[in-house]
Amino acid sequence: MAARINNFLLQNLQCPMCLNIYKESTLLACSHTFCKGCISRFFDPLQEIAKISCPVCRKSTAVPSRDVSNLQINIPIQAMVEDIKNQSQICTICKDKPLAATYCQECDDFMCVDCYKTHAKWDKFAGHDVVKVDDIISGKVTTKHRRKCKKHRSEVEECFCVECKKYVCFRCGMMEHTKAGHNILEGMEHEDQQKEKIRELQNKVDAKKGKVDDYISFIEKQQAKLHVVQEQLTDEISQACEESIQQLKERRDILVEDCKSRLNGMNKELQGMKDENKLEMGQIEDVGDLVGNGVKVPLEVRLLLPMKTWKRSLLKVILITASLRILPSKGIR
């Protein structure tokens, strides 16, 4: 009974894609479960919408952050897989139920060492595919577990109906499905076809990844070139700015010197004009003093001649002073 339960569990813990026991069982929104590695092959992280189509029902499942690792783990399935791996398989032939060492793919029986020796001696079992239980548990070997037909209990569902998309026994295939015009394949042939499709998809994924890697490499090279160009432009701009600043400084020094020279010349002219005005001011004061003193004394005949001379001198000074009053209007603007 325990062996049948284990066989049943193993049959229901197989990934629909690789037909091996689940590795990192990943649950989709449609409730179908696959190995994480298998379902990753159906997802293109560069596609516009981060969704993955179920290989069984074609329903879409959103992929968080475009990483299949973020999809939900089927915890019950994963726990059962771990339990099966940790259990010791018992022989399904012996009454004593010792630990099984091998498994016959054709007979669908686990065998202890003694049963295996007997199995190997029988000619009718010659050519049967016998594998080690340890290889099955480790996932190194893929088993060919087939369910027993519900109608024909002695028959194993070793055929596959393409139209019904399910495994059937030989009798059901011939008596029911073939009569209905369905296409019946051997179970191994169907599995080989599915594996071939998976390999083709994997090759397409690998080719796509290669193209993406090449494109990423191209982008990285362009980024490196842009970095070099940026550094060159930065150096050229800095050099041009330094040269412009140096030219502006030299031009500034030239303008400052020219301005100083012009202003010094104008200052000398103004100083000369100032000195001349002071000299004229002294003459005006002298003439004014003489005239003032002459007014204070009585006029005599002998003084009339000098008075006339002083008058002419005073008028001359007044005229000169009047001409000087025009100078401020022609000053620095």
First to last CA, the chain: 120
Between CA 121 and CA 305 the distance in angstroms is 176
Instruction: Report the alpha-carbon distance of residue 161 to residue 150 in Å, rounded.
Output: 16
Give the C-alpha separation, 167 to 173, whole Å: 9
The structure's pTM equals 0.34
| Contact predicate 53/44, CB 8 Å | no
Write b or e for each residue in 245-263: b if 16 or more Cβ atoms lie within 10 A of its Cβ, otherwise e: eeeeeeeeeeeeeeeeeee
CATH no., domain 2-146:
3.30.40.10
Query: What sign results for the dihedral spanned by CA atoms 151, 193, 133, 120?
Result: positive
Q: How many residues does the chain have?
A: 333
pLDDT of residue 206: 84
pLDDT of residue 175: 83
The Cα 176–Cα 235 span in angstroms is 83
* Neighbour count for residue 74 (Cβ, 10 Å): 20
Q: What is the pLDDT of residue 133?
A: 82
Structure confidence by residue, pLDDT tens digits, 73-90? 888 888 777 766 655 577
DSSP state of 299: P
Q: Give the integer Cα–Cα distance in Å for 109 and 116.
A: 10
| pLDDT at res. 307 | 57
In SS3 terms, 3-38 reads as: HHHHHHHHHHCECCCCCCECCCEEECCCCCEEEHHH
Per-residue pLDDT in tens (0 to 9) along the chain, 333 residues? 444 545 555 567 778 887 777 888 899 989 899 988 888 887 877 777 888 888 888 888 888 888 888 888 888 888 777 766 655 577 888 877 788 889 887 777 889 998 999 899 888 888 788 888 878 766 677 665 566 677 776 677 788 898 888 888 888 888 888 878 888 888 778 878 888 888 888 888 888 888 888 899 999 999 999 999 999 999 999 999 999 999 999 999 999 999 999 999 999 999 999 888 888 888 778 777 766 666 555 544 444 555 566 566 666 666 655 555 444 444 555
